[in-house]
Every structure is written in C-alpha cells, then in structure tokens.
A and B are shown apart, each in its own frame.
Chain A
C-alpha cells in the first residue's frame, strides 16, 4: 500500500507548476533533439546534466524522463517525412513511414507512430512501476560475488551487442574502465594515475566525460558538413502535412490489433532491461516479430502501419525497461540511464536494492513523468505542432551548434567553477571524435566508466571474503547464475549469431 500511495504521490508532484514546466519543457527539447538528424535525446540529457547542480533532484529526473520519452518517438518525424531517421531507434519506422509519405499518407503514418509510442510508452511506464519493486526485492538476494558477476555480465552483454565490432566495443569499454581508475582507489586511500598532479587526485568527473563524448565530439563531426541547415528546406515543401490527417482510422488500428500493441510493448520493455540493447534494438526485434506473425508479411516495407506501430510501441516501451537495472542494481544499460544515474550521484544518491523503498518520493515523479509524457504529451504535441515539425527542425546549423557549444562548455564549468573541467571536456571530445570516426561505440566508453569502479570494488571485496580464492564466484549461487547467464548470452549472440534475414543485421545501439 505504501508503494501504491508513493507512486500516486509522484503524479501529485507533477501538479507543482515548476515541475510541470520542466516536464513540458523537457519534452519539447527532447522532441526537437530527437527529430533533428544528428542530434539525439542523449545529447539533450547530457546538456541538461550540468544544470542539475542548480535543480531540485526530482525536477531534474522529471525533465530527464520526458526528454527520454520524447526523443524516442520524435525520431519518427523526419524518418517518415523525409526518410532520414532523427534517431537510430526510428530506422524501422522509416521503412514503413516513408512509403506512406510518398503515397500522401505521411500524416497518417505519423499518427500511427504517435499512437504506437503512446501505448508503448504508457505500458512501459506502468510495467516499470509494477516490476521495479519486485526486481528490487530480487536484488536484495544478490551478495558481493553475485554483484561482481552481474556487472561483468552487463559489461560483456554491452560489448557483444556491438554487432560487427565486438573488438571495438571491448576496447571502448576497457578504455572507460581505465579512465575510471584515475584518482583515489575504491578500497584503500591511495591515489592512482595522477602523474604527480593534484587535479587528478579526485578522479575524473562524469560530467566532462559525458559532455565531451556526446556534445563536443558532435560539434567536431558536424564541423565537416557543408549544409547550412539541419534539414534541407526544399524537403519541407515536399512533405506538407495537415493536422486533421494525424488521427489514424479506427479500421487500421483494429487491423493492427490490441495484441500486437501489447506484444510490442512487452518486447520493448524486455529489451530495455538488457544492458546495451537500446531503442533501435527494441524496434528491430519488435518489427521483425510483427512481420513474422503478420497475416500479410508481404505488405511490410511498402508502407504498412503495422510495422510503424510495432517499432514505435517497442522503442517507447523500452524507456520503462531501461530504468529497472539502473534503479534496482545501480547498473545503467544505456547512455540515458547512465546520465540519470549521474544526476542521482551528483545529488548524493546511490541506486540499489533499497533505493526504491527509501527514495520512492524522489523517484515516483520520474515514473509519473514517463507515463504522462507518453499518454498525454506525445499525442498533444503531434496534434499541436505536427504541421510545423519540419519547419522547427530545419534551423541554421551555425546557430544550433554554437548554442550547443556554449551550453556544453559553460555547463562543464558549473561543476567545480574551474576551466579544468572545460578542458577535460574538450580532451574527451577530441578522443571521442577519433573513436567515432573509426566506429568505436562511445556508449561502451561511458558504460565502462560508470560500471568500472563497482566491478573492481565487488571483485576485491569478494576475493577478500574468500582469502583471495576466485572459486567464490563459482560456489556462490547468485554469482553462478549470472556466469551461466553470460555463457547463454555469449552463445546466442556470438557463437550462434542471428541469421541474416530480409531486414539485414540488427542495428547496433
């Protein structure tokens, strides 16, 4: 009963005008960043991170949740209208949305995308509210050796989910782990890798790493582009949509069917729980399953609303699932939840098994924000702003990227009021630029950095319990379970790779 009233309290918190303003503002920012090709909701949340120093933690989490939800669905705007997915999670939507746009049904395709996102996002948020407390109870059973094996499992799955570039995934992850070891040792008071400088004794802060990896590196990559606007204005003329056409016909919704929506939401939620999978994987798996189980698979790829519904329902449902491991185990599985973890850590909070019960009043508004963003803001934004979407996302690149540079750099300054953090952001930005140019997944760098210290700490604690004997990892049941799970995942994802099908290889996160 306490948890139910706590969760309801989260909805009541949204009635606070300031919190509501941040939720709506976050949603609009997320929509913009998700829709503009090249920008992502991760970048939006990364830019928000420095501002959380001055924000109330609940307000910051509410804004993060609405940005996350908006970023997942808004990629469908440019995916449908001009065949350029605003976010990787909308690649499958482009397969069906753009052919519909070419038939003059672009607005209807966007309507189906919004409906799918609305249903998937709401169900994902509801499942999060129901399942997270249960997962927290299970997390209480996991002891130190099991925690090590769980984090190792998460890191290994993140690496092997980088299809086609496992070595690069491993390098990026290990590099993140190496950066995380700079500073005071996790167990004893000993400074490591400071190279005689006092500024490194405190270690590397998460903020310059995030700002550098996601914002500065994007500036460096965008500096190569010749176009003056984010979206070619000539495309806008060709992609006009009308507000009344956004409402999908009931007959088509019936044809898609309640079960398809439910199944896609469950698939998205389950994929979200997996480390490293992300929205693009959720959309791919759900789309493939929808095509497999469809009565008319031949219609896929030619503008079938079923495909749009399945992909969008899953990638928005993924948002709810992604929060489960972060809140219950303190293990983020994707960059967005890693940044949300950063927001919590900045405010002196450490997620874990008892976090849900002890800090429900802080977390519940974030759950409510996910739910309300999906159920109300997605359809409302489409209806109100839909006809102007392309005009909004077609803005001058010089103004956009100069603004991002200022928010990113001055934001880095906020943490310690020192230009050293800004310089670190620049260094990490250049580093991430090189990594991205050579297709190293920078997401792995961030997750290695976030999970590395816990991996080391639990490894050393577990070994000290057993006098340095590593057999404890194989005799402890919880640890053994995660080792077995790692083997199973490795078998299915690396040894017995999914066979190529008509959709090609699943998109990397």
Chain B
C-alpha cells in the first residue's frame, strides 16, 4: 500500500526535474557565457558593434526564453498532477528499466561510460583492442547482458571491428591508431 504513493511521488519529481531542470541547467551555462561575453569588452565602440555585442544579445534572449520555459514547466506541473499520475501508472511496468540518475536512464549511463572509456582507450591501446572490447560491451548492453547468444556477440564484435578497420583504413585511407604504432 505504501509503495505506490512513494513511487508516484518519485516519478513526479523526476518528471518535473526534466521539464524544469534542463532549462535551469541551460540558464546556468548561459550565465557563464554572458559573463564571458561581458568580459570581452563593451558591446558598442565608436557607434559599431564589437565582438561582445552579438553574444550578449543572444545570451539575454536565451535567458528570457529559458525563464519562460521554467515558468511554463512549473505552471504545467501545478495544473496537471492527474495526467502525471496516469502517465506514472502507465509506465509502472517499465519502472526498473527506466530508473533515472541525473536525468539519464541506466542504459544511457552505460553507453556514456562505455563511450568515455573507449575514447580514453582509443589512443592508448589502439583501434583494434579498444573497438573490439567497446563493441562487445555495447552488444551486451543493447541486448540485456551476455547470458544469451554470447558467441554471436563475440563474432559480431570481431566482424564490426574488422569491418570498421576495412572501411576507414583501407577504403577511406584514414590512419587509425594501433597498438604497434604507439
């Protein structure tokens, strides 16, 4: 009995988070941008626009639009709690899968972490090893683990790695980093 309301509350909070916190985060970025633009110098000099005019104008317009979006998000949430509850009920089946951290789903976090690791490994250990491991892990992530068809995933990882090498290095003559070229 107690689990349903609490899950509803948490989903409502995360839903508000997206609609409100995305413009809020953008507003923070825009503020940093605006301060940097102001530091470039006065927007007008001798009757002419300087390098800071356009960024300052853009940032001000952006902040106005973001303020509107945030107000709209807050008003929307106040108006439609029932719709939200209905949406929560609908999505309750997918609850474990769609659990979010900092607005990112578990699957998306997995892709981001694997890709960041791939970028670090790419220069360090070369195309072949880095790509093979990355593709193998991605296939696992996109198919829900390695318990099923692991041999197919292994073969797919080898084929994609070799095909990528042939496409870039052989067909398009792009020099890719290799372990032996480090």
User: Which A residues lie at the B interface, using CB under 8 A?
Assistant: 51, 53-55, 167-168, 170-171, 174-175, 177-178, 181, 185, 187-188, 190, 192-193, 195, 216, 219-226, 228, 396-399, 401-403, 405-407, 409-410, 413-414, 417, 419, 422-423, 426, 429-430, 433-435, 437-438, 440, 452, 455-456, 459-460, 463-464, 467-469
Contacts and interface: CB of A to CB of B under 8 A. Distances in A.
B178 interface: no
A434 B24 CA distance: 12
Given A409-B118, A434-B103, A463-B49, A195 B36 contact: yes
Interface in B43-65: 44, 46-49, 51, 53-55, 58-59, 61-62, 65
A460 B48 contact: yes
A414 B168 contact: yes
Contacts of A226: 94, 97, 144
If over half of A's interface residues share one DSSP class (helix, strand or loop), that class is named, otherwise mixed; here it is helix
B51 A224 contact: no
Contacts of B25: 434
A435 B40 CA distance: 29
Interface string B69-85: 10010000000000000
Contacts of B19: 438
A34 to B, nearest CB: 21
A396 B159 CA distance: 14
B115 A224 contact: no
Contacts of B89: none
Given A171-B23, A171-B26, A460-B49, A178 B119 contact: no
Given A171-B62, A193-B36, A223 B48 contact: no
Contacts of A433: 104, 108
A438 B22 contact: yes
B48 A468 contact: yes
A213 to B, nearest CB: 15
B176 A174 contact: no
Contacts of B44: 468
Given A192-B40, A406-B164, 13 more contacts: A54-B172, A174-B65, A190-B40, A219-B111, A223-B141, A226-B97, A399-B160, A402-B142, A409-B122, A426-B116, A430-B104, A434-B18, A459-B49
Contacts of A460: 48-49, 53-54
9 contacts: A54-B171, A170-B65, A226-B97, A396-B156, A402-B160, A405-B135, A413-B174, A438-B19, A452-B58
B11 interface: no
Contact of B97 (A216, A224, A228): A224
B22 to A, nearest CB: 5
Nearest to A194: B36
B173 interface: yes
Contacts of A222: 142
Contact of B33 (A193, A219, A403): A193
A266 B170 CA distance: 44
A178 B104 contact: no
B48 A464 contact: yes
B121 to A, nearest CB: 10
A187 B123 CA distance: 36
A185 B157 CA distance: 44
B110 A192 contact: no
Given A223-B110, A410-B176, A167 B47 contact: no
Given A175-B62, A460-B54, A426 B115 contact: yes
B167 interface: yes
Contacts of B72: 167
Given A397-B143, A419-B122, A224 B105 contact: yes
B12 interface: no
Contacts of B94: 226
Given A414-B168, A433-B104, A467-B47, A192 B55 contact: yes
A398 B58 contact: no
Given A167-B69, A195-B36, A426-B116, A437 B49 contact: no
B156 A188 contact: no
B100 to A, nearest CB: 9
Nearest to B67: A167
Given A171-B26, A460-B48, A51 B172 contact: yes
Nearest to A420: B119
